[in-house]
A = this chain, B = another copy of it.
């Protein structure tokens, strides 16, 4: 297994990536690594930390693609950026199995699409992050923002890819797939979800119907399907609400002496809660539907997150998820009788 890491573009670049690789190498000496980024910064940090990275390939590519740039323009023009160099190596070097980046989501999507290409039959590659649930299980949200305007067939592909990924990643034999909607009744929804509902019933997945957004974290669903605009609003609303409640809680705990004392006593339990809710532990999200393993890790990733992303890249590749997606999409029933769905 050989993994290439774009060391730039994240909040803690390139240090988090280097530390993450070091953590992984402590536990697994088999996996090979290529780190791409500002060579002098990277080697300086490796020397400072006294890491033995003699068999890690470091590629100099000092340019960085920022989140403000147009993703497609940047991928086409910034040939010396750490992300483009990483994608070019992933494309041309057959020994490289996977790519990890904490950089611009849009640029990673554009790179996956333009440089690596889609799995045959998949209409749209998609990002699919994981959230924790009330029941201690996990739930996948697909799409989470890659595709802001979707047709029903795109959502069907998301459902198939999400179902396969969930099965392989969490060992769930028959993942419960639901469509994010404004009500649970099958007549509810906008034009997109109403049409998608009909098609999803015909797919070879465990489609259990519509779900209202308030039940996202209920643990009653394994895979939630939606267009990328909705997925983005869903995930960011949850993030914002959780941060709101935690902040209010902090204020409540500081509001009186008794409350402060209470907070100190409850501290270790509260810390466990914080860990449970930390979605960085998942490492990131694969770009499902592309021809190689591509992991988008959070911009604020620290060493632990990068380690988790490396482990995700390994298990994703070892489980041959892309091959399984390819088979499933090619063998998909002909559900789209109406043109242009």
Chain A interface residues (CB < 8 Å from chain B): 68, 70, 134, 145, 148-149, 180, 182, 185, 187, 189-191, 193, 212-218, 226-230, 232-249, 251-253, 255-256, 258-259, 261-270, 272-273, 276-277
Contact = CB atoms under 8 A, between A and B. Distances in A.
A190 B151 CA distance: 13
A319 to B, nearest CB: 29
Q: How many copies does the complex hold?
A: 2
A235 to B, nearest CB: 8
A248 B236 contact: no
Given A149-B191, A255-B269, 7 more contacts: A148-B189, A213-B234, A214-B237, A218-B240, A237-B237, A249-B270, A249-B273
A218 to B, nearest CB: 8
A185 to B, nearest CB: 7
- Chain B CB within 10 A, most for which of A149, A218, A252, A277: A252
A248 B277 contact: yes
22 contacts: A134-B247, A149-B190, A182-B229, A193-B229, A213-B233, A213-B234, A215-B240, A237-B238, A237-B241, A239-B241, A242-B245, A245-B277, A249-B273, A252-B266, A252-B269, A252-B272, A255-B272, A256-B269, A259-B266, A259-B270, A262-B264, A262-B265
B273 A266 contact: no
* Majority secondary structure, A binding face: helix
Nearest to A182: B232
Given A182-B232, A228-B182, A259-B265, A213 B190 contact: no
Contacts of A252: 266, 269-270, 272-273
A269 B253 contact: yes
A268 B256 contact: yes
B233 A185 contact: no
Contacts of A272: 252, 255
A300 to B, nearest CB: 13
A145 B213 CA distance: 12
For A68, A230, A248, the residue with the greatest tally of chain B CB atoms inside 10 Å of its CB is: A248
B216 A240 contact: yes
